[in-house]
């Protein structure tokens, strides 16, 4: 199943069949309205060359109005055009010189615009670069693109439309699902499984050994606990740069479909992360952490070993979860506690020294009476 040799680099292939680069800035308001299927009110010929917020911006800026909070800035805004969620009233609109485009959801419309003007990314062409080192027992789909300097071990399968950017290493008996993109320097260790349409950021390491040791005692030094499990990623997952996900002691460390994980997050062995969760940058998941579907975890949070975050739960940035966040709740702080309680306690903490001093004084006065 040899793929064609391909020695060109980076041809801005459109490997994901997306809508990138179907437009380029500047663009007229009327063309945006057509793209979005929105209703244009105002000057159809406003030229738009940048995107910005309603409070900043120039006459060539496209902005968006998702609520009446934003709408009230429109009259005094310099922006030439806004995408507006339908049914929002926008006071002070000058139809001669400016344009409003009413759409079902301004946020989603902005995403469509960004996608349309998004420059295509550099991707190697389908085929295997001559400098890649592929074991003869690896199975590479002919439509996959394997960039320079990649190494792929025996028994590994690479699906249709997969893109491997340069200098990626994939061990033996691993599997990469179709249309998944791996950025440069990614390491996928033996037997790990990556689903379809995933995007793995540069220099991520998937499948390093979990951190498991029997601690040292009087008789012997610490003993490594072999980590014989794997990592299994579902479909449509995105990992930022330098994410590390460790293989399980046995069984699998798993990440559910459609979950998105930001840069430098560490997922320890045997974690089970649900579907549709969002985990922001530099968060730490200890061993065997369980996160439910649709959870949202802020940046630089710490989830203690064995802690549990429920479905639809939220954890604030920087929080330290010791044990459990119930389904649907929002936890904040160190140790993490319900948001309202945390805000009150941290507010009290800001005045703690002063409170202690005053209480001391008042108690002494009362005691001396």
What's the N-to-C CA distance of the chain in angstroms? Answer: 94
Instruction: Show the binding pattern over residues 172-211: x = contacts its own copies (CB under 8 A), - = does not.
Output: xx---------xxx-x-xxx---------xxx-x--xx-x
216 binds its own copies (CB under 8 A): yes
Question: Cis (ω within 30 of 0) for the bond into 335?
Answer: yes
Touching its own copies, residues 99-158 (CB under 8 A): 107-108, 110-111, 114-115, 117-119, 121-122, 129, 131, 133-135, 147-149, 151-154
52 alpha-carbon distance from chain centroid: 22
305 binds its own copies (CB under 8 A): yes
Identify the three-state secondary structure at position 76: helix
Question: Cis (ω within 30 of 0) for the bond into 26?
Answer: yes
235 binds its own copies (CB under 8 A): no
Position among 4, 47, 92, 226 found at the interface with its own copies (CB under 8 A): 226
Task: State the nearest-atom distance from the C-beta of 30 to its own copies, in Å.
Answer: 21
Distance, in Å, from the CA atom of 298 to the CA atom of 173, rounded to the nearest integer, reads 34
Find the DSSP H helices in 197-351.
Answer: 339-350
Task: State the nearest-atom distance from the C-beta of 162 to its own copies, in Å.
Answer: 17
250 binds its own copies (CB under 8 A): yes
3-state helix, strand, coil in the chain (%, to 5): 15, 30, 55
Task: State the nearest-atom distance from the C-beta of 329 to its own copies, in Å.
Answer: 15
1 binds its own copies (CB under 8 A): no
Distance, in Å, from the CA atom of 112 to the CA atom of 124, rounded to the nearest integer, reads 25
Other beta carbons within 10 Å of 286: 19
Touching its own copies, residues 46-85 (CB under 8 A): 50-52
Touching its own copies, residues 7-46 (CB under 8 A): 7-12, 20
Position among 1, 17, 96, 366 found at the interface with its own copies (CB under 8 A): 366
169 binds its own copies (CB under 8 A): yes
Position among 93, 179, 197, 266 found at the interface with its own copies (CB under 8 A): 266
115 alpha-carbon distance from chain centroid: 17
Position among 57, 195, 286, 310 found at the interface with its own copies (CB under 8 A): 286
Residue 269 known to be catalytic: yes
Task: State the nearest-atom distance from the C-beta of 95 to its own copies, in Å.
Answer: 26
Distance, in Å, from the CA atom of 252 to the CA atom of 21, rounded to the nearest integer, reads 39
Task: Given the residues 129, 266, 269, 312, select the one marked as catalytic.
Answer: 269
- Residue among 191, 202, 265 at smallest CA distance from 233: 191
Residues with active-site annotation: 269
């Amino acid at each position: 199943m040899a793929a064609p040799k391909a020695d060109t680099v980076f041809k801005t292939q459109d490997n994901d069949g997306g809508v990138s680069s179907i437009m380029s800035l500047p663009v007229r308001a009327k063309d945006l309205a057509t793209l979005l299927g929105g209703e244009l009110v105002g000057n159809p010929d406003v030229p738009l060359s940048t995107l910005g917020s309603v409070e900043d911006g120039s006459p060539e800026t496209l902005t968006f109005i998702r609520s009446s909070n934003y709408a009230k800035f429109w009259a005094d805004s310099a922006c030439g055009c806004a995408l507006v969620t339908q049914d929002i009233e926008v006071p002070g609109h000058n139809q001669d010189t400016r344009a409003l485009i009413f759409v079902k959801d301004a946020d989603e419309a902005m995403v469509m615009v960004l996608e349309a003007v998004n420059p295509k990314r550099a991707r190697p062409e389908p085929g295997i670069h001559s400098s890649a080192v592929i074991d003869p027992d690896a199975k590479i789909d002919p439509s996959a693109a394997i960039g320079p300097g990649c190494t792929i071990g025996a028994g590994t399968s690479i699906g249709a439309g997969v893109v491997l950017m340069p200098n990626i290493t994939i061990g033996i008996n691993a599997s990469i699902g179709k249309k998944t993109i791996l950025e440069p320097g990614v390491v996928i260790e033996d037997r790990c499984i990556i689903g379809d349409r995933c995007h793995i950021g540069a220099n991520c390491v998937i499948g390093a050994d979990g951190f498991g040791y029997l601690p040292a005692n009087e008789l012997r030094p610490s003993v490594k606990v072999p980590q014989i499990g794997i990592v299994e990623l579902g479909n449509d997952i995105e990992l930022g740069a330098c994410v590390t996900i460790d293989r399980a002691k046995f069984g699998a460390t798993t990440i559910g479909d459609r979950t998105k994980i930001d840069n430098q997050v560490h997922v320890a062995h045997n974690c089970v992360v649900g579907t549709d969760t969002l985990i922001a940058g530099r968060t730490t998941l200890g061993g065997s952490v369980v996160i439910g579907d649709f959870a949202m975890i802020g940046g630089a949070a710490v989830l203690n070993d064995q802690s549990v975050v429920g479905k639809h739960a939220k954890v604030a940035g920087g929080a330290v979860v010791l044990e459990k966040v119930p389904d649907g709740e929002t936890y904040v702080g160190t140790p993490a506690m319900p948001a309202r309680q945390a805000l009150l306690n941290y507010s009290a903490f800001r005045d703690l020294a002063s409170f202690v001093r005053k209480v001391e004084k008042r108690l002494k006065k009362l005691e001396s009476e």
